Amino acid sequence: GAVVSQHPSRVICKSGTSVKIECRSLDFQATTMFWYRQFPKQSLMLMATSNEGSKATYEQGVEKDKFLINHASLTLSTLTVTSAHPEDSSFYICSAPSLLLAKNIQYFGAGTRLSVL
């Protein structure tokens, strides 16, 4: 099956620093990827849609200057949490859909747990 790799799995950083999270589709091309945020015991909240070769589309209420998204290639999207603060601590998950492998199935990365001290 399709594999989406997300790195790092866990990051702890000091307040004010920036953190980059990578999402790679390992065996298929993904012109679109999605970034989610998940609070404890809650559902996944879509933050933005990452588009290769164009600007990301952010959901309402998500600060695009705080959460920078770059879709550098057909297999890589990055989410940078800029000037992180404790309230940014959360679980971040990426996904990539593949129409070639199976219609409209999204494959998920293993997630990144961000802790801001």
Residue 116 near residue 89, CB atoms below 8 Å: yes
CB of 54 to other proteins, least distance (A): 13
The two structure tokens encoding residue 68:
């920078």
CB of 103 to other proteins, least distance (A): 7
User: Cα dihedral sign for 88, 91, 37, 11?
Assistant: positive
Does residue 14 interact with other proteins by CB under 8 A?
A: no
Does residue 93 interact with other proteins by CB under 8 A?
A: yes
Which CB sits closer to other proteins, 14 or 103?
103
Residue 93 near residue 38, CB atoms below 8 Å: yes
Which CB sits closer to other proteins, 17 or 74?
74
Question: Kind and range of the H or E element at 23?
Answer: strand 19-25
CB of 76 to other proteins, least distance (A): 16
Residues β-bridged to residue 19: 81
Residues found near other proteins in the complex (CB under 8 A): 31-32, 34, 38, 41-44, 46, 49, 91, 93, 95, 97, 99, 102-108, 110-111
